[in-house]
Structure 1
Amino acid sequence: MTRVAVEGTMLSWARERAGRTRESLTPKFSRLAEWEHGEVQPTLKQLEAFAKAVHVPIGYLFLREPPEEPVPIPDFRTVADQPLRRATPDLLDTVYLCQQRQEWYRDDARQAGAEPLPFVGSLALGADVIRSAASIRAALGLDLEAQSRLPTWTNALRAFIEKADALGVLVMVSGVVGSNNRRPLDPEEFRGFALADPVAPLVFINGADTKAAQMFTLAHELAHLWLGESALSDARAAEAPTQAVERWCNKVAAEMLVPLSVFSAVHDLEADLRGELDRLARRFKVSTLVVLRRMHDAGSLTGDAYWRAFNDEVERLQELPGGSGGNFYLTLGARVSKRFARAVVSSTLEGRSSFTEAFRLLGFKKMNTFKELSNGLGVAF
């Protein structure tokens, strides 16, 4: 039996990088402790299985020390105002996958004669928040009154995504890495990111987050596209980020979804806070944390009272049971963006792309799935 020489420290690093304990992997790799201590070496087959289990390129395991793995886009995530230095494999693989899809779509669109989209990079950091939010709403055709009449946050988010898609934005919503349901994404690590591009602007939304929170994330990441800047974000509505770009995007997102003039007109200052939070969240189809922030912006809830209400609401939301998410978020079209899926299906049916490439880009392996997707997108097979 041929064994391969790898550093035990690299195996420990790969395991810790994936957030796995030795005990959790021992049932599958019974001699893992011996591998890590350098007492015995794994076989190549065992090493390949280990690399797959901890989601690391097998070539990394032959290095003498861990490689640097910076997030390939500007990272504005923070905890207690301190930047997060290390991204999980789930986050990194999601960014890489979206970059690959964006590159394919950009090339395909340019071959079809696509022109740069005028809204990408059309705003500058520090531009007036109210006018900036209004210009984004106008470009999207976002009707807040119509949105308020939609029955659920899921309906409102679907309509919001469709408007961004129609404008040319690839909006991908998923709570897992690719199509791997055993690799869930953690909203506490990131809520979304934007990949700015004049032809193929892309927004990814962490579908494991609540639907109301996803509304704000989409608005926040769209603001990044209007700045023409890629970014990985927390997109926490109720907080004021330390970075100027995140503060501006948060303000624009809040104004886009909940214009302060409209909010002030419908906000009942005499109402019970709990009831008013829920009423206004339903009215604007945003989270109660966004409503709290707008109360703060309007001057009706400030200082210690705001932060007490904010902390109480965070605690209440954490205790609520999670929802099923709805079938919309389980569909392939939502995960990869309907605009992207239509382009891949059309390219394949026209013979410009192979089925093998299509399956890789879309994240499945069966022809029946391809046929069902093409029918669902209205693309003739």
Structure 2
Amino acid sequence: MNISLQPIVLRWARERAGLDAAALAKKLSTTEEKVLQWEQDGTLTYKRAEKLAEKTHTPFGYLFLEEPPLEQLPISDFRTVGSEEPKRPSPELLDVLFDAMSKQAWYRDYLIEMGEPRLDYIGSIGLEDAPAAVGERIRHHFGFDSATRAEASDWKAALNLMFEQCEAHGILVTRTGMAKSNTHRPLLVKEFRGFALSDPYAPLIFINSKDSHAAQMFTLVHELVHLWLGLSGVSNLVSTYAPSARVEQFCNQVAAEVLVPLDALRAQLALAQEDDDPIRRLVRHFKVSSLVILRRLRDIEELDAATFRKLYKDEEDRFAAIQAKQKAKGGGGNYYASKHVQVGRRFAQALIGSALEGRTPYREAYSLLGVRKTETFNNFARQLHFNV
């Protein structure tokens, strides 16, 4: 059965998914000419329209609109760099954002029902505060000292330690590199590195795990500063320090103070200068990216402007090359270990416990956890030490 849809909406669905006509034709097992024809006359079969919605990750009902909907992020978009406007959010970004908001809403209601208090540090600072003083407050509150990170075996261990410290202080931390657990829907680092959902009961930080561990560490603290400001938003730290907007600049400055305090940097610099590669030694000690170290060395005037710009550009190019090589690398590993990272251990324990006690319907728990089978749910529960 043929149906008539608006050609502009069909073209919007394709472009929204980042596909050209040939790529969409391949996904639909048809020809490019057919796709272009639909986008001219709007006529196609009902089943083909369903398939088109599925392959472009478009809500099916949207295809019947008279004109494309204006899709906007429901939280502030801090991805603008200079005068460049952020691009339209991808279906992947929208999906992980709405999924995180659903998790946060459930967890907030759960905490209020359990009589948990508000977190007093959410929204406790302002842009007029001194970044160094705020950085010291955050380090003290969460125990983010550089000495502990230096003792970690590698970047991943140091990062996991920081995630645990955030969750221990009431923050939901979720990490994934794909939308809806679909390996064919990777999250692009160039689009966004993370976002923060501020709330006095259930603050949430999302980290794009496609990024390097060192970069994820900076993103984590950057988003943490957003929470202390009480500001939700999506971030993409294109050059770590590049964003010119005041909020992002402030969050970057505080994050640098948290991860690489200037006193600690000066103390380590004397030792690092005895090494053949001082910057790499500092990177290993502080467990941050070389871009952060370069910026901090510039802050204490150990690098002049020209040298800083050259080294910074060289490191950006090196990171871009590494990411290009890793782009096609698949996932793997233990499913259940990955699952508690994706949804957050704190959230998973609360939700599973609530479902087992009969306070949350299993259907809702399955949906929020992203599982379909009772067996999978029970196995996940056992991994978190529930008796089922």
Normalising by structure 1, we get a TM-score of 0.94
Cα RMSD, aligned residues only: 2.1
Q: Which residue of structure 1 lines up, in the alignment, with residue 377 of structure 2?
A: 370
Q: Which residue of structure 1 lines up, in the alignment, with residue 72 of structure 2?
A: 70
User: What's the CA shift for 1:115?
Assistant: 1.4
Structure 2: which amino acid aligns with 1:276? P
Q: Which residue of structure 1 lines up, in the alignment, with residue 253 of structure 2?
A: 251
CA contact (8 A) 1:126 1:248 kept: no
* Counterpart-to-counterpart distance in 2, 1:113 and 1:311: 51
Q: Which residue of structure 1 lines up, in the alignment, with residue 39 of structure 2?
A: 36
* Counterpart-to-counterpart distance in 2, 1:6 and 1:170: 42
* Counterpart-to-counterpart distance in 2, 1:152 and 1:12: 47
Q: Which residue of structure 1 lines up, in the alignment, with residue 91 of structure 2?
A: 89
Q: Which residue of structure 2 lines up, in the alignment, with residue 207 of structure 1?
A: 209
* Counterpart-to-counterpart distance in 1, 2:87 and 2:275: 38
Residue by residue over 1:194-221, the C-alpha shift from the partner in whole angstroms, topping out at 9 and shown as x without a partner, is 0000001000000000010000000000
SS of match in other structure, 2:241: coil
CA contact (8 A) 2:272 2:279 kept: no
Q: Which moved more, 1:296-305 or 1:77-86?
A: 77-86
CA gap of 1:74–1:328, structure 2 versus 1, over 3 A, is: farther
* Counterpart-to-counterpart distance in 2, 1:204 and 1:43: 39
Residue by residue over 1:43-99, the C-alpha shift from the partner in whole angstroms, topping out at 9 and shown as x without a partner, is 222211111110111111111211111111111102454231411111111111111
Structure 2: which amino acid aligns with 1:362? L
SS of match in other structure, 1:35: helix
Q: Which residue of structure 1 lines up, in the alignment, with residue 48 of structure 2?
A: 46
Q: Which residue of structure 1 lines up, in the alignment, with residue 13 of structure 2?
A: 14
Of the three residues 229, 232, 240, the one matched with 2:231 is 229
Unaligned ranges ≥5, structure 1: none
* Counterpart-to-counterpart distance in 1, 2:275 and 2:257: 21
* Counterpart-to-counterpart distance in 1, 2:334 and 2:82: 34
Q: Which residue of structure 2 lines up, in the alignment, with residue 3 of structure 1?
A: 2
CA contact (8 A) 1:237 1:293 kept: no
Q: Which residue of structure 2 lines up, in the alignment, with residue 262 of structure 1?
A: 264
CA contact (8 A) 2:17 2:57 kept: yes
CA gap of 1:60–1:274, structure 2 versus 1, over 3 A, is: farther
SS of match in other structure, 1:64: coil
- List aligned pairs for 1:276-315, cutoff 5 A: 276-315=278-317
Of the three residues 350, 357, 368, the one matched with 1:350 is 357
* Counterpart-to-counterpart distance in 2, 1:223 and 1:198: 14
CA gap of 1:161–1:374, structure 2 versus 1, over 3 A, is: same
Q: Which residue of structure 2 lines up, in the alignment, with residue 242 of structure 1?
A: 244
SS of match in other structure, 1:203: strand
Unaligned ranges ≥5, structure 2: none
Normalising by structure 2, we get a TM-score of 0.93
SS of match in other structure, 1:82: coil
Q: Which residue of structure 2 lines up, in the alignment, with residue 26 of structure 1?
A: 25
* Counterpart-to-counterpart distance in 2, 1:35 and 1:29: 15
* Counterpart-to-counterpart distance in 1, 2:307 and 2:149: 30
User: What's the CA shift for 1:317?
Assistant: 2.1
CA contact (8 A) 2:239 2:316 kept: no
